[in-house]
Amino acid sequence: MSEKLSNEELLKLPFMDSNLDLEKRVEDLLGRLTLKEKFKLSTGTRVFYTRPIKRLGVPNFKMTDGPHGIGPHSSNSSECTYFPVGICRAATWNSELSEKFGVAAAQEVRDIGYHMLLGPGINIQRAPLCGRNFEYQTEDPYLNSRLAVQYVKGVQSERIAACVKHYICNNQETNRFTLNSVVSERALQEIYLPAFKATVCEADAWSFMSCYNKVNGVYGSEHKNLIKKKINGRMGF
């Protein structure tokens, strides 16, 4: 199954049928990928791009980095609207406005030919000196949840993927690649997890970004309890 298919052959495959259920298209494509091709998709080709799978006509998947709109640094210096940042939007307590922002930001993502917006950033504003508090929304778990759900719904209503980040407890920028966030299970459940859970259960978020830091001694991207047990298992992502 390693030969390159012609355009005519590709168009006949189920994953190319836009009228077919999305999950069925994904399953069909996954079944056709070789192990080597799956590895290629996992590594990326350059920052914010996945590798294309030319054999199956799968182009680069392009991501733009910005919880408050497309980031010129991650989208070939594309011009963009400078939307109000997360802490400003949260100060309105207006979930409808959050959804409208998601729609507007997603439209700009589509305009530049990209597929995913790396946002919302919904880490709790725990440390007042955190360098990204302006990007995050609030220190209140309930408000965080209500705004995050509408943000994700707005983005994905335009068929642009939202990427909810950074899962979880990425609460400071200083030493974020080595920091160990020590947190109790109760604090996780009551403070840090509610907004992430809401984006899974209420907004059907299409993707999540793991945190850079460790949580209770284990890096977020390899944390079986947080990923396999909680977000995949209990939340159903």
The C-alpha angle 199, 205, 206, rounded to 5 degrees, equals 160
Domain boundaries, the chain: 1-58, 62-234
pLDDT for residue 166: 96
Contacts 24+ apart (CB under 8 A), 6-9: 7/57
Q: Place 2 in a pLDDT band, splitting at 50, 70 and 90.
A: low
3-class state of residue 50 by DSSP: coil
Beta bridge partners of 165: 121
CATH class of the domain whose range is 62-234: alpha beta
Shortest CA distance to 65 belongs to which of 135, 147, 157?
135
3-class state of residue 34 by DSSP: coil
Inter-axis angle of helices 141-156 and 95-111, to 10 degrees?
A: 40
- Cis bond leading into 166, ω under 30°? yes
182 phi and psi, to 5 degrees? -95, 120
* 66-70, 101-105, 138-142, 181-185: the lowest-pLDDT one: 66-70
162 phi and psi, to 5 degrees? -85, 150
> Do 154 and 98 form a contact (C-beta atoms < 8 A)?
yes
- Type of residue numbered 122: I
For tokens 């759900």, the residue is 149
Q: Place 8 in a pLDDT band, splitting at 50, 70 and 90.
A: confident
Pairwise CA distance, residues 18 & 25, whole Å? 8
> Do 198 and 148 form a contact (C-beta atoms < 8 A)?
yes
SS3 content of the chain, % helix, strand, coil (to 5): 45, 10, 45
pLDDT by residue (tens digit) across 97-127? 999 999 999 999 999 999 999 999 999 999 8
Kindly state the average pLDDT of the residues 69-83.
Answer: 88
181 phi and psi, to 5 degrees? -85, 110
pLDDT by residue (tens digit) across 181-237? 999 999 999 999 999 999 999 999 999 999 999 999 999 999 999 999 999 999 999
11 phi and psi, to 5 degrees? -65, -20
